[in-house]
Structure 1
Amino acid sequence: MTTTAPYRPRPRAGRDGFAHLLHAEWTKFRTVRGWVTTMVIAALVTVLLGLLAAAGSHASCSEGPVEVACPAVPVGPGGEAVEDQFYFAHRSLTGNGDITARLTSMTGIITYPPPDHDKIVPGLVPWAKAGVIVKDGTRQGSAYAAMMVTGSHGVRMQHNFTEDTAGRPGGVSAASPRWLRLTRSGDTLTGYESADGTRWTKVGTAHLAGLPATVQIGLFVASPGDLTVKRADLGGSIEQMRFTQATAVFDNVGLRGDVPGGAWSRDAVGVTGTTDWERYHRPNGVLESGGTFTVTGAGDLAPRMDGQTVERTLTGALTGLILVIVVAVMFVTGEYRRGMIRTTLLAGPRRGRTLAAKALVIGAVTFVAALAATTVTVTAGKRILRSNGNYILPVSPLTELRVVVGVAALFGVAAVLALALGAVFRRGVAAIVTAVVVIVVPSILATVSVLPEGAARWLLRLTPAAGFAIQQSVPEYPQVTGHYVPQAGYYPLAPWAGLAVLCAYAALALVLAVVLLRRRDA
């Protein structure tokens, strides 16, 4: 007599087997009401806290005792908000041509600098600018290219507010003048510099698409504010921006091309008022005598850095992320607590694949929930901010999409990291505390002015909190003096590099969890 062994189902292999594991883990997640409810609450908290913060932010400008709407902010050719304020002595140029000038002196003043706040001192801020420029009219935000000497950064060629090319270092004096030349050929502007007016060195080239046939060409001077940062007694920092002014002396000014004769036009581009210093001591303007031009100006041609950013609407993300961490940890530790992990591993004896299925499910669910939350929050939050008079620094559609999708990805990857820690610790409280400490706490410490700025930057380079860099929408500009610190929303790593650090931590934790899961009893 022959006997037949009883039939025992074998786990499916390949794609079908993994798909079966995914379906089982998804079914497990959606049938536990507490997990689903907490995930929904996490999304709602992200939305509600973000919208409440937007509703509480108001801005207005004043004309004497009267509050009025703030004036429109100029926008550059690339769609970014810009500072476009300088003194301009100019002529019109039709077609191709160039301007050449020798700069023999550049001086300036800084008002009320520390530590003596009761006096005005001579000096140039690092990005004070004087030189030659071709600009599409005098409208703020219009396209331009300029060759210039700066206060501390040598010769530069800049165009369209965001682009900057370095020339030779050093300053300018009567004994060591700087010759500058800017040549137009169609939409192409080329900048040159020389020490003697004979031997010229090319500095850079700018292509200004759509430049009209007739442009304004001439001499300009600008001097941005002097930024000082003081550490507050109770933590954080105090920023102060003070008025500055620069004066440059030009001679050997030459124009070639179709330039009508007559006097030079003179415009204080973008200037809306004057300080007491300008009113009573040295007003912005130009003095012309015997072919020598003495031009005095203030302001800047650069990206504008003050204003609300789109990521400011996501202030509720940290609270929502904590709830996500709780769900992700419980998704694995709940099975240990109830003894269900044995059943799970019997259904999927290849433990690494089982944990991978769990990670994929929790990551995908979290990403979808967070994506819905960030989309609603950013869209509605921007409208609320604008209705309250706030100016939001414009960014490209791709940048805004990166913020919305990137923060959702941050949530998803953080959930995978939390799940892996849950598998490592097997205890909910220990895993939740660890996840919050390594993901959330560094972000809070780095952005609420508790730590010195250097320490804050290192935290956001080396910990999983580096992932929050994905939400930075406005970049740092080397040619703009600013307080580029985490407290102001600037991260030490690029957005995708920061998210990559978080992904690396999640991957390492998941590998460790798989190794321990294979070695330990269920």
Structure 2
Amino acid sequence: MTTGTTTPYRSRRPTGRAGFPHLLRAEWTKFRTVRGWVLAMTAAAVVIVSLGLIFATGSHSSCSIGTVEVACPKPPTGPGGELVDDRFYFVHQSLAGDGGITVRLTSMTGIITYPPPNHDKIVSGLVPWAKTGVIVKDGTRQGSAYAAMMVTADHGVRMQYDYTHDTAGRPGRVSAASPRWLRLNRSGDTLTGYESADGTQWTQVGTTHLPRLPATVQIGLFVASPSDLTVEQSALGGSVGQARYTQATAVFDHVGLRGTTPGGQWSRDDIGADGQTDWQRYHRPSGVRESGGAYTVTGSGDIAPLTDGPPIERTLIGMLAGLIVMIVVAVMFMTAEYRRGLIHTTLIASPRRGRVLAAKAVVIGLVAFVAGVAATAITVPSGTRILRRGGAFPFPVSSLTELRVIVGTAALLAVAAVLALALGALFRRSVAAIITAIVVIVVPYVLAFASVLPDDVTRWLLRLTPAAGFAIQQSVPEYKQVIGNYAPSAGYYPLAPWAGFAVLCAYAALALGLAAHRLRRRDA
């Protein structure tokens, strides 16, 4: 009789059932051992940084006083740090503490200089966002905090404050037969706006809290009229905007002030005026006339966010070249398996083919993301500083928006690399996959911003193709209260940043699904 010990059974995972972490390590080893791929990804990051900084260094802006070239003044900055347009005619008095102003507005007329089709005469009319009404403002400094109740040419009564905020009231224009009463009250740091058709029954339009307002503010009447913008299709297919000088005139009566004001004479300021146009010199300058208790005020300009100037994403001009390099590497990472006949060995080691493709996607996506973050984290802040020193003032953005542009661009590169990898698995030929990836990702973007197609066509390209993902870079929003050329050729995307990025992700997911299906059915 023999005796002995029994060795307990130990389960061993067969090589063909390697876990996903093991697959990740294996695919990462494949990637890093090919020196050309590593160098190419490094070169892509270097290209993004170098081209972005070269662009910023070469961007200068200057102004002239007579024949002398001087640095351009920085545009005024609003309470939220945004660049603003703050130009209007202001008839005002000081208000200490709580109080308010009530007026009746009986007329609003204007002129537009040299509009199409012939650009040969000055016509009567108002641009849609010409505005006039009552305002409470922290002094006369451009960019200071304010709240205003107003009537606009085509957008009815509005309450606007601190440049970016807009609340709609009753629609319709003002006339002698249909006057508008406006009221703006201050109580502490709370500003409340009202409107009325008869001066008896009042409707509240909006309210806001402005803790930045000092104890003593300026209160009074204002008129502003933005430039008339005409957007025309260029010969190449894009759009070209032309802005012309405009002016508005409003007639106020029943002007009543409540609170501690010095009374007597009104102060008069053309806020933000930097001289007069030739038309103003020889025709009708901005100003105010008083007669029988009625005030006729004429002014130009706007009180709104500024939409002219380079956004921070402009520093990422080299991203397109870096993206093409990453597309080539991502495709080669997949097709090299077929070209060298290694795909059979890979699938024997891991029969679960979908997991092999997923591991490759994770590796190439992470490599592209890391390279993208490293490049954009250097380029965006450094490039914006260089632009400011050169007098080309980029739009200031919040820290969260800057982070979204930096990280979002890296995510865009990562998802685009995954999409290219999936195309490599579908076509299994490098040239076909690279060309397809460039055609669906890069070409629509180039067509949209090179002004070679009509804006309506490019909007659909940036909605329906993977190039929609570039919207993740947009840092400056559209403002409904600002007339602008919000077209792709001007840097605006038809989809919100994350919505556009979701379109790219959907394409990558679809391509991965199709690639996995084909990989399960056929090795090579």
TM-score by length of 2: 0.96
Matched, 1:10 2:14: yes
Equivalent residue pairs, number: 514
Structure 2 Cα separation of the partners of residues 165 and 381 of structure 1:
36
Aligned counterparts of 2:456 and 2:448: Cα–Cα separation in 1: 10
Equivalent residue in structure 2 for 1:170, among 165, 169, 172: 172
2:195 to 159, 173, 193: 193
Alpha-carbon distance in structure 2 between the residues aligned to 1:405 and 1:293: 54
- Matched residue type, 1:350: R
- Determine the C-alpha separation between the residues in 1 that align with 2:12 and 2:349: 12
Q: What's the offset of the Cα at 1:46?
A: 1.4
Q: Deviations over 1:51-105 (max 9, x none)?
A: 2222222210011111100112100011100000101111111111111100000
Query: Paired residue for 1:450?
Result: 452
Equivalent residue letter for 1:338: R
Residue deviations 1:270-299, cap 9 Å, x none?
111111222122111111122101111000
Give the partner amino acid of 2:167: T
Aligned residue for 2:461? 459
Q: Say yes or no: does 1:91 pair with 2:93.
A: yes
Counterpart amino acid of 1:237?
S
Cα deviation for residue 238 of structure 1 reads: 2.5
Partner of 1:59: 61
CA contact (8 A) 2:16 2:351 kept: no
**Residue 503 of structure 2: which of 495, 501, 504 is its match?**
501
Partners of 2:487 and 2:240 in 1: CA distance:
13
Map of 1:250 onto structure 2: 252
Deviation of 1:356 (Å): 0.6
Distance change >3 Å, CA 9–CA 172, structure 1 → 2? closer
Q: Distance in 2 between matches of 1:400 and 1:12?
A: 45
Question: Which residue does 1:286 correspond to in 2?
Answer: 288
* Cα distance in structure 1, aligned partners of 2:13 and 2:113: 84
1:230 to partner: Cα distance: 2.1
How far residue 453 of structure 1 moved from its aligned partner, in angstroms, is 0.4
Q: Which residue of 2 aligns with 1:39?
A: 41
What residue number does 2:485 align with?
483
The answer for the alignment partner of 1:4 in structure 2 is: none
Cα distance in 1, alignment partners of residues 438 and 73 from structure 2: 43
**Structure 1 residues 134-157: Cα deviation after superposition (integer angstroms, max 9, x where no partner):** 111111111111010111111111
Kept in 1, the 8 Å contact 2:104–2:180? The answer is yes
Contact 2:239/2:455 (<8 A) preserved: no
Q: Which residue number corresponds to residue 274 of structure 1? A: 276
| 8 Å CA contact 2:86, 2:304 repeated in 1 | yes
Rounded to whole Å, the distance in 2 between the matches of 1:390 and 1:467 is 27
Counterpart in 2 of 1:210? 212
Corresponding residue number in structure 1 for 2:305: 303
Q: How far apart in 1 are the matches of 2:15 and 2:305?
A: 60
Q: Shift of residue 235 of structure 1?
A: 3.4
Long gaps (5+) in structure 2: 1-10
State the shift of 1:12 in Å.
7.9
Return the offset for 1:9: 5.7
Given that 1:11 and 1:17 are in contact with CA atoms closer than 8 Å, whether structure 2 keeps it comes out as: no
The SS at the match of 1:125 is coil
Q: Which amino acid aligns with 1:303?
A: P
1:417 shift after superposition? 0.5
Deviation at 1:236, TM superposition (A): 2.8
SS at match of 1:77: coil
SS in 2 for 1:30: helix
Alignment check: 8 A CA contact 2:377 2:406 kept: yes
> Helix, strand or coil: the match of 2:19?
helix
CA distance in 2, matches of 1:50, 1:239: 26
Secondary structure at the counterpart of residue 474 of structure 1: coil
The reply to whether residue 329 of structure 1 matches residue 328 of structure 2 is no
Q: State the distance in 1 between where 2:455 and 2:514 align.
A: 33
Give the distance between the partners of 2:13 and 2:311, measured in 1 at CA.
57
Q: Which moved more, 1:230-239 or 1:301-310?
A: 230-239
Note if contact 1:100-1:180 (Cα within 8 Å) is conserved in structure 2.
yes
Partner of 2:473: 471
Identify the residue that residue 3 of structure 1 maps to in structure 2. Answer: none
What is the distance in 2 between the residues matched to 1:72 and 1:40? 37
Could you tell me which residue of structure 1 aligns to residue 105 of structure 2?
A: 103
Contact persistence 2:24–2:360 (CA under 8 A) = yes
What code does the residue aligned with 1:106 have? M
> Which residue in the other structure is 1:139 paired with?
141
Q: Which amino acid aligns with 1:10?
A: P
Q: How far is the alpha carbon of 1:354 from its aligned partner?
A: 1.2
Q: 1:396 and 2:395 equivalent?
A: no
2:234 aligned to 232, 235, 250, which one?
Answer: 232
Deviation for aligned residue 1:509:
0.8
5+ unaligned residues in a row in structure 1: which ranges?
1-6
Call closer, same or farther: CA 1:12–1:518 in 2, change over 3 Å.
closer
Amino acid at match of 2:137: K
Q: Secondary structure at the match of 1:67?
A: strand
Q: How does 1:407-418 map to 2 (within 5 A)?
A: 407-418=409-420
2:28 is aligned to 26
User: 1:161 corresponds to which letter in structure 2?
Assistant: Y
Secondary structure of the residue aligned to 1:115 is: coil
Inter-partner Cα distance in structure 2 for 1:484 and 1:407: 21
Cα distance change, pair 424–251 in 1 and its aligned pair in 2 (3 A): same
CA-to-aligned-CA distance 1:464-499 (integer Å, 9 cap, x gap): 000000111100001000000111110000011111
Shift of 1:435: 0.6
Seen in structure 2, the aligned counterparts of structure 1 residues 170 and 9 have a Cα distance that, compared at 3 Å, is closer
State the distance in 1 between where 2:16 and 2:74 align: 64
TM-fit CA distance, 1:116? 2.6
Question: Which amino acid letter does the alignment assign opposite residue 70 of structure 1?
Answer: C
State the Cα distance separating 1:8 from its structure 2 match: 8.6
* Percent identity (aligned): 74
Aligned residue in 1 for 2:3? none
Q: What is the CA-CA distance between 1:232 and the residue it aligns to? A: 2.1
